[in-house]
Amino acid sequence: MKLAFSTLGVPGLPLPEVVRLARAHGWDGVELRAHPEEPVHPGCGPKERAAAVAEFAGSGVEILAVAGYARVAAPGDDAPVLQELTGLIDLAADLGARYVRAFPGGGDRPAEEADATAARRLGTVAPLAADRGVHVLLETHDSHRRAADAARVLGPVGHANIGALWDVLHTWLGGETPTESFPVLAPHLGYVQVKDVASAEALDPLPLGAGVLPLGECVRALTGSGWDGWLCWEYEKRWYPQAADFGQLAGPGAEYLRGLLAAAPPGP
């Protein structure tokens, strides 16, 4: 498996520093947070996009994904959500990233209604994603935090370029174990976000291995099946400014994940 980290852990860090941090600690790639306060986002023009590509070229560090904020199950007209998704797909394609992250965002809507909305919107952008060589991933989050929730949307879409992003925290908060989540997500799985917290009530980001999330069980489920994708550490420094500096944790975090991979049984 390959290892990436999210720039949510280093909010606003210039891309040369992102690349330097990844190379210094042996990370294979990065998930770029696509927000206007970050160096690259859908509002960037061709010059900024080309500069970002040039920054990563030859570095050995891959732009894994563009982490967007489109909420595909949210109420309201489809047009603004589809426009947002289109912008994210175009940005990912221009940067050479294979994935776009989208949130459910269904709120308190009835599940059938939220599912149908999300499936319709994801199905609508699927041909564009395929044309541009990008996969749009629905994150296990908020209204659809369990694998079972995401599968209710992804099954009806049934398109190879629409998949799942497994956020291990949220499936755990939803009451699923990794051995329950993985088989449901496996047919759709793009990559996996890992993190650690002290408890379900204390969600401040912790160094990997310092909290209660079943990260070892998650890795064993992945390797035992022969899955060979990406693990991405989403350290949510942006939302918890009091959390330890990610730069101090990047090296130990990569070593922790390599240790889990080394200890996990090989797949078939």
Q: What is the pLDDT of residues 124-175, one digit of tens each?
A: 999 999 999 999 999 999 999 999 999 999 999 999 999 999 999 999 999 9
Q: What are the tens digits of pLDDT across the range 211-228?
A: 999 999 999 999 999 999
Q: Is 183 helix (H, G, I), strand (E, B) or coil?
A: helix
State the pLDDT at residue 268: 77
Q: Phi and psi (nearest 5°) for 231?
A: -105, 130
Mean pLDDT over the full length of the chain: 97
State the pLDDT at residue 245: 97
Q: What is the pLDDT confidence band of residue 265, given thresholds at 50, 70 and 90?
A: confident
Q: What are the tens digits of pLDDT across the range 89-110?
A: 999 999 999 999 999 999 999 9
Q: Given CATH 3.20.20.150, say whether it is the number of domain 2-263.
A: yes
Q: β-strands 135-139, 189-194: how paired?
A: unpaired
Q: What is the pLDDT confidence band of residue 243, given thresholds at 50, 70 and 90?
A: very high
Sorted by where each begins, the domain ranges of the chain are 2-263
Cβ-Cβ contacts under 8 Å for 121 (sequence gap 6 or more): 72, 78, 81, 82, 85
∠ CA 172-261-57, nearest 5°, is 100
Q: Which of 33, 24, 44, 31 is nearest to 2 (CA)?
A: 31
pTM of the predicted protein model = 0.97
End-to-end CA distance of the chain: 15
Residue 267 pLDDT > 80: no
226: Cα within 13 Å, side-chain hemisphere: 2
